[in-house]
Amino acid sequence: DNQTVTYVYQKADGHVTVRYVDENGNPVQPDTVLNGKVGEDYSSTHPEQINEYNYLETEGNPTGEYSRDNQTVTYVYQKADGHVTVRYVDENG
């Protein structure tokens, strides 16, 4: 008698960790994790500002395909310059 064996496969999960750090590697916002199936597209975005930090550069691929390997995208921010207004007045204000 012939027998048939059927194997059912499921696509593996892929993960991309998105980090938001300052120039020294310190977090300025909690990491987020993007999840999908291997071979599917992912896309990450970044805010231009986080609190007192401005976006500087991206390390890693902000878009791509999920893979079996864990991937990381790091958005680097730098401290924004502050502004001070100085007023000089005489005794009359």
Residues 6+ positions from 44 with CB-CB distance below 8 Å: 16, 18, 32, 34, 62, 63, 73
Alpha carbons within 13 A on the beta-carbon side of 34: 23
Quote the CA–CA distance of 93 and 12 in Å, as a whole number.
Answer: 71
Residue 56: which CATH number?
Answer: 3.10.20.320
**Average pLDDT in the chain:** 93
Tell whether 31 is covered by a domain: yes
Structure confidence by residue, pLDDT tens digits, 50-92: 999 999 999 999 999 999 999 999 999 999 877 767 777 777 7
- Domain hosting 42: range is 13-79
Would you state the pLDDT for residue 84?
67
Q: Which bin fits 56, alpha (ψ -120 to 50), beta or left (φ > 0)?
A: alpha
Number of domains in the chain: 1
| Residue 10 CA to its chain's centroid (Å) | 27
The pTM for the full model equals 0.78
